Amino acid sequence: MDDAAASPSAAYVGRFAPSPTGLLHAGSLVAALASWLDARAHGGRWLVRMEDLDTPRNVAGAAEAILAQLDRCGLRADAPAVFQSRRLALYEAALRRLQAKGRAYPCACSRRDLALAAAAPTGGSDALGEAVYPGTCRDGLHGKAARSVRLRVEAGDGSGEAKIAWTDRRLGPQHQDVARAVGDFVLKRADGVFAYQLAVVVDDGAQGVSDVVRGEDLVDSTARQILLQRLLGLPTPRYLHTPLVRTADGAKLSKQTGAMPLALDDPLAALRPAGAALGLAARGTRIADWLESALGCWRERIEAP
């Protein structure tokens, strides 16, 4: 975290943004703890945002339960939680701005269409195995009905607009050519749900988020988000991607891989492994003492030359 030694400032705004598709597990607690520690170490504000746009996957009562889990662990936000499902007008306004600039267009491709294109000899996929959009609907729908809306990612004529470089505070210099690695990506899905990439950029801008601390699995999204920030005239936060908690076979621990919800009858039993995953030698037999110790460890890390 070589560039993190900024002096404490109220201008620092961090956030934790879980999806209420289930309760927090050991992996999500690592990201929550890291973002809370970073905000506190910089004397800034820490916000919680529920990314609940994907309503078919949301679990009833999960949002409230997540907030209760965070509170039980002593991780309390500096403002009431914000819910994306109540901010649709902001995403629609951003989409219209991109459309007005000629940077967003309707797409008729189904998942089957994209799978067939990826399987073709000229098809391709990105680092995560996802199909790179082949540009099928860039020049029109060819008589088909619109399904989704995509961002027109310009490769540029040497200007390199889609070639995004940034420095992650933990992982160091990063770069991605969005045009080659991803292609024109979705801004609004076929089911009418605003895509994660657009919503998170709009929310971070609207909430004045200065620092994004989140799991390493989201590194690949960063270039797309920086591109959208630039197109919408929004500032780019600093990024820090935390280590992932993995299963015995090396897969990312997640709800899809059978991660169990945190058992918080003893919150310290959950916090200690989360701190260990972040490399923090925190001590304490009470939650407040343990968090203060973890905060001291985090401060030492970000202040190190």
pLDDT per position as a tens digit, 252-269: 656 665 567 787 788 999
Q: Residue 179: beta bridge partners? A: none
List the CATH code of the domain at 89-188. 3.90.800.10
pLDDT of residue 113: 82
State how far the Cα of 15 lies from the Cα of 226, in Å rounded to an integer.
Answer: 17
Name the residue ranges covered by the structural domains of the chain: 13-87+207-220+237-303, 89-188
pLDDT of residue 29: 94
Q: 148: how many CB neighbours lie within 10 A of its CB? A: 21
Do β-strands 82-83 and 45-50 pair in parallel, antiparallel, or remain unpaired?
Answer: parallel
Q: Specify the DSSP class assigned to residue 257.
A: G
Domain 13-87+207-220+237-303 has CATH 3.40.50.620: yes
Residue 86, C-beta contacts closer than 8 angstroms, at least 6 positions apart: none
Q: Residue 15: beta bridge partners? A: 47
Do the beta carbons of residue 12 and residue 78 sit within 8 Å?
A: no
pLDDT of residue 161: 85
pLDDT of residue 253: 56
Radius of gyration over every alpha carbon of the chain, rounded to an integer in angstroms:
20
Which residues, given as ranges, of the chain have pLDDT below 70?
1-10, 118-130, 156-160, 246-259, 304-305
State how far the Cα of 188 lies from the Cα of 192, in Å rounded to an integer.
Answer: 6
pLDDT of residue 125: 46
pLDDT of residue 302: 87
pLDDT of residue 183: 94
pLDDT of residue 251: 59
pLDDT of residue 75: 98
Angle between helices 267-277 and 26-41 (to 10 degrees): 70
State how far the Cα of 60 lies from the Cα of 179, in Å rounded to an integer.
Answer: 38
pLDDT of residue 6: 37
State how far the Cα of 301 lies from the Cα of 305, in Å rounded to an integer.
Answer: 9
Q: Could you report the per-residue pLDDT of 97-112, keeping only the tens digit for each? A: 999 999 999 999 988 8
State how far the Cα of 265 lies from the Cα of 140, in Å rounded to an integer.
Answer: 57
Residue 297, C-beta contacts closer than 8 angstroms, at least 6 positions apart: 275, 280, 281, 282
pLDDT of residue 129: 45
